[in-house]
């Protein structure tokens, strides 16, 4: 039987709105940005985004403005994270 559970995942994600968040995707890709919002499917709207491709050289792509990230490929969310060390 399940005992009383803590806050649900959407509630936890909601707490990150306005802060930096580090998102690990399925395919050796990571995104760092400021979380503006999300939906029930955890599609995320971010701004001031840096995109990292995890290769031996640690390639980085910096993008400005806002993005809508498809929640399909998200593996892990790290609130306040700065991303991989490059």
Contact set with another protein (CB under 8 A): 10, 14, 17, 25, 27, 29, 31, 36-41, 43-45, 47, 49, 63-73
**What number of helices (H) and strands (E) belong to the chain?**
1, 6
For another protein, the closer CB: 32 or 69: 69
CB of 74 to another protein, least distance (A): 10
* Residues with Cβ within 8 Å of residue 14, at least 6 apart in sequence: none
For another protein, the closer CB: 43 or 81: 43
Answer yes or no: are the C-beta atoms of 31 and 51 closer than 8 Å. Answer: yes
């Amino acid at each position: 039987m399940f005992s009383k559970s803590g806050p649900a995942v959407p509630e936890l994600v909601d707490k990150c709105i306005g802060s930096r968040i580090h998102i690990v995707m399925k395919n050796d890709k990571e995104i760092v940005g400021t979380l503006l919002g999300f939906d029930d499917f955890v599609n995320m709207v971010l701004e001031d985004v840096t995109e990292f491709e995890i290769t031996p050289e640690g390639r980085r792509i910096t993008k400005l403005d806002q993005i809508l990230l498809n929640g399909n490929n998200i593996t892990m969310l790290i609130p306040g994270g700065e991303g991989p060390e490059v």
